[in-house]
Amino acid sequence: MRIFAEESTSILAKRIKYCEVCEKDFSTVYRIQYKQPAKWVFTCESCLLKVKKDNPLYKYGGTWKR
């Protein structure tokens, strides 16, 4: 049982997402489209607020939490 606990901890530690804009890792990121060609990317909250302002290409696709 202990081995399983250690394995699950290491698996969770590898669940890292980086912001497409500022390239830093965050525990919560947002899946969005904001430019052409339209592809889904992850951004932090700060960058999300910057890229969505007055952007007709912006689409929200969900929240990812570590």
pLDDT tens sequence across 21-65: 999 999 999 999 999 999 999 999 999 999 999 999 999 999 999
**pLDDT computed for residue 57 by the predictor:** 97
- Residue 12 placed within a domain: no
| DSSP-derived 3-state class of residue 52 | helix
10 Å CB burial of residue 58 (0-12, 13-18, 19+) is middle
User: What pLDDT is attached to residue 42?
Assistant: 98
Does residue 2 fall inside a structural domain? no
Range of the domain at 35: 17-65
Residue 7 lies in a domain: no
CB contact at 8 A, 19 and 30: no
Q: What is the pLDDT of residue 60?
A: 98
Q: What is the pLDDT of residue 11?
A: 54
Would you say residue 24 lies in a domain? yes
Residue 23 lies in a domain: yes
- Please give the residue that has the higher pLDDT: either 12 or 35: 35
How many domains, in total, are found in the chain? 1
